[in-house]
Each structure stands twice: as structure tokens, then as C-alpha cells.
Amino acid sequence: MLDIRNNVNLKTYNTFGIEAFCTYFTEINSIEDFLALLKTDIYKNNLKLILGGGSNVLFTQNFNGIVIKNNLKGIEVVTQDNEAVIVRAAAGENWHGFVLWCIEKGFCGLENLSLIPGCIGASPMQNIGAYGVEIKDVFNDLEAINTATGQKKVFSAAECEFGYRESVFKTKYKNQFFIISVSFKLYRQPKLNTTYGAINSELEAMKISNATIKDVSNAVIAIRQSKLPNPAETGNAGSFFKNPEVAKEKYDELKRSFEGLVAYPLPNGNFKLAAGWLIEQCGLKGFEKEGAAVHSKQALVLINKNNCSGKAVFELSGYVLQKVFDKFGVTLEREVNII
């Protein structure tokens, strides 16, 4: 049954642990709840913000509107054969929990995406990715409700228009659809991707030669835990900045000027630079300002080190952007949704 509350503190609903209040707050536990919400004057007459795990949002102020927490739950196998399986998960399911569920069933394809915070519904919105795998590589379709009409629509991969940490749900369809479930095409035979990052090195350290998807998942978890702070202990939203893309001419210029430049060639001839490396070269690892800080082990991550405000984190991010631009002439882009 739909329950709308007033003046709710969002501190426990965002992984930065930032205190901010919203005028109205409700949790959606069924599709019927959401359809009922669409008919209310509170929904019709206020700004809206849909939250999943709150792992990709920074509150810099109170939210003068209604926050809608997506709590839809459920996982099911839709179709399967000897080679592949389609698995559908409700948008409110925990992402990492779902990955582990698939690994336990022997469904291959998500192991490189282990330990990413957040919920299922945010995964296609952000086209989350890690260690050489993105959601678009395993995506089948998603179901969403049009917030204007209340009608359900199924989106194919092409209709989602996936890009680097992008989809239509962050651009032309922003706030126009409420994602209710996502389905993934996974495989019964492993197609391991261990060449990206330090996965092979971690597997060697674990003394594993014939890796399984569980081994790869464990390696990814170990790597992430070694350099990324646990949001339950230190407020953060994971990677705060996108890795910037530059033309070959700019890459060549930087490579001549900066020894050890970390970059990856792209199919379009451009290069993707490692934002964390750029930030680190500016001497910002561990830099702290007004309780917000650049993480000492991974410069791509900004943290709530000392019960800071969202405004302090935002201002720190601006300082980082300026320092990187001044040194490299490269403009970083924030990956986190700023409220």
C-alpha cells in the first residue's frame, strides 16, 4: 500500500552519507504502488527524484519535491537452453547480490561487474562497467513505465542508446520512465575476460591457473576492496569522474610531455585517458578540504571523510577539475548525479 511521508532525512538513502531532507518520500514495493502514486496530487505537483541504491548521487542541498525509492524485488529465469539463459531482475534488487546469484547458478557474463554498488534499475541507466565489461554487453531488454501515461514499454538495447556511462534515461528520456525490471542474456559456458586491469595478476597471486567465473568474481572483489572504500564505512559514490576521451593529436601531445601517461585506444581512433592517473599526477591523492577528500588509494574516488556536506564534496570536485585542466588541458566530467 502506498505510503507518502513528509520531511524525510535522506542520509541513509545515499552512499555518500550526506544529510539532506526531501519534502515528500515514498517507497515503491509493487507496480500497483507506482501507478497509484502517478494519480496523486503530490506526484503531479512536485519535482520528482527516483532513487535506487543511492550510489550515484550527491545531494548538495535539500530536495524540494518527492523522492521515490524503487524497492521492486524478484529474480526469474525467463528462457534457457543449452547455451544461453535470459534472467530478469526487478529494478530494486541489489546489483552485487544479483551477480552472486547468477554466479551460483553458473550463469556467465556478469563476473567482472562484481561488487559494484547500487541496484538493478540503475545499471542500464548508467551503462555500468568495470574490467572490460559493460551492461550493454549482456543486456537483453528492460521494462519501464512511462511516467506521463502510466503505460508499460519494453526497451531493446538499440532503444537504450548505450554510451560510455550513458543511456537515453540520462538524456532525452530523463525522468520520463520508471524502470521496473531488466533482463540479461548470460551464458552457460564461460567466456572469461581477464586481460583488463589487474585480474590476471590477482588470479596468479591467488595461485589459480584454470579460473572459473567464481574465481574471476573473487579476483575483482579483492581488487576493488584493496583500493575502493566501503560505503558502509566511508561515504562515497565510487568513481566520481568519467575517463575523458581525447583525439589522437591531444594524446600524442600529452604522451610527449608526460612520461607514464595511462591511456587506451578506442575504435574511433581517439584515446581514453585514465582520470585517476591525471588526478594523481596533480598531487591530489589524499587531499582534503572541509571534510571532503580525494581517496588516498584511488584518486578517482571522492569521499565523505569527516561528516562533510554535499556542497563540500561538490566544491572539491570543482577544485580537482580545475587542477587537471590547468596541468593537462583536459576537461574531466563528473559521473555522479548532482542534486
Q: How many CB atoms lie within 10 A of CB 80?
A: 13
The pLDDT of 306-324, averaged and rounded, is 96
What's the CA gap between 199 and 215, in Å, rounded? Answer: 10
The string of pLDDT tens digits covering residues 187-241 is 998 888 777 768 877 777 787 788 888 988 888 898 888 888 888 889 999 889 9
The DSSP code for 318 is H
Q: What angle do CA 199, 96, 208 make, to 5 degrees?
A: 30
Q: What is the phi/psi pair of residue 167, to 5°? A: -160, 175
Residue of 111, 143, 245, 335 marked active site = 335
pLDDT of residue 257: 92
Residue of 114, 167, 183, 239 marked active site = 239
pLDDT of residue 209: 80
Residue of 143, 165, 183, 245 marked active site = 165
pLDDT of residue 77: 95
The string of pLDDT tens digits covering residues 157-199 is 999 999 888 899 988 998 899 999 999 999 998 888 777 768 8
The pLDDT of 85-113, averaged and rounded, is 95
The DSSP code for 224 is H
pLDDT of residue 197: 66
The pLDDT of 260-269, averaged and rounded, is 89
Q: What angle do CA 293, 15, 65 make, to 5 degrees?
A: 110
Summary mean pLDDT of the chain? 92
| Partner residues linked to 235 by β-bridges | 304
Q: Where is 327: in which H helix or E strand?
A: helix 310-328
* Alpha-carbon distances, residue 277 vs 53, 56, 253, 260 (angstroms): 28, 21, 16, 9
Q: Is position 239 annotated as part of the catalytic site?
A: yes
Would the pLDDT of 264 be above 90? no
* Full set of structural domains in the chain with CATH: 4-70 (3.30.43.10), 75-187 (3.30.465.10), 235-338 (3.90.78.10)
The pLDDT of 104-122, averaged and rounded, is 92
Beta strands 263-265 and 271-273, pairing class: antiparallel
Buried b (16+ CB within 10 A) or exposed e, 227-245: ebbebeebbbbbbbbbbbb
Cell numbers 542534486: residue: 339
